[in-house]
Amino acid sequence: MKRIQSFTLILLLAGCASLPGPSQPVTHYVLSDPGPALHLPHSQPGVLLLREMDTPAFYQEPGLAYSREPGTRSRYAFAQWAELPGKRLTWLLRQRLETAGVFAAVAPMASGVVGDYQLNTRLIDFYHDASTPPGSAFLLVEAELVRRAKGELVARQAFVAQLPVAAYDAAGAAAAMDSAATRIIDEITLWLARVSG
């Protein structure tokens, strides 16, 4: 009888050991732009149309990206962006351009508004360079300003931000990537004011 009880106890313990434990929750990070609201003294007359940012296939997933080896990209298992980076960066840039008053008005390409200029942007890379702890946040965006009436390229430039990460984890990476996004938005805003004037 004791043998049967012992055997039953072993089976119960084995069954408990195979039950799945509580899964780790995914943390969703929000890209924000707490940067300075630049109010430029002179605005360019006309309407700027902002096309949604072109994004490589890898960045069309919400997971925060990191790299430990040159030429490689991976995603954090339990850290994601609340919104896809390209879409969110486009929205943040539009908000900043409207506040700064670089142009008389700013509208999305899909709004149906007739525009004088068009801003095309491309997300080239956006990741936590974790090759040497704690690493750095890296963001590379290319922008081009087009005068729509003539289909003329006014200017094109690449913008790079590389900022140190405070902690060697997803939270540290997200904070530094957020700051990198603000810096790039700063630089694009000032660049537009210069090349469109």
**How far, in Å, CA of 87 to CA of 14, rounded?**
48
145-176 core/surface letters (b: 16 or more CB in 10 A; e: else): bbeeeeeeeeeeeebebebebeeeebebbbbb
pLDDT at residue number 140: 98
pLDDT value for 22: 55
Residue 37: the pLDDT is 63
Would you say 80 and 62 are in contact if contact means Cβ atoms under 8 Å apart? yes
Helix (H) or strand (E) holding 15: helix 2-18
pLDDT digits (tens, 9 = 90+) for 103-118: 999 999 988 889 999 9
Model-level pTM?
Answer: 0.84
The two tokens of residue 177 are 């990537």
- The confidence score (pLDDT) of residue 21 equals 47
Contacts of 46 (CB under 8 A, 6+ apart): 103, 104, 115, 116, 117
Question: What's residue 39's pLDDT?
Answer: 64
Q: What is the pLDDT of residue 67?
A: 96
Query: 108: which residues sit within 8 A by CB, 6+ positions away?
Result: 49, 50, 51, 52, 90, 94
Helix (H), strand (E) at residue 118: strand 117-129
Cα dihedral 152→93→38→162 (10° resolution): -100
Please report the pLDDT score of residue 17 as a whole number: 36
Domains of the chain (ranges, CATH numbers): 2-196 (3.40.50.10610)
Give residue for tokens 């929000």: 30
Check residue 193 and give left, alpha or beta (phi > 0: left; psi -120 to 50: alpha).
Answer: alpha
pLDDT averages per 10-residue partition of the chain, 197 residues? 41 37 83 72 82 96 95 95 97 92 91 92 98 96 95 96 96 97 95 85
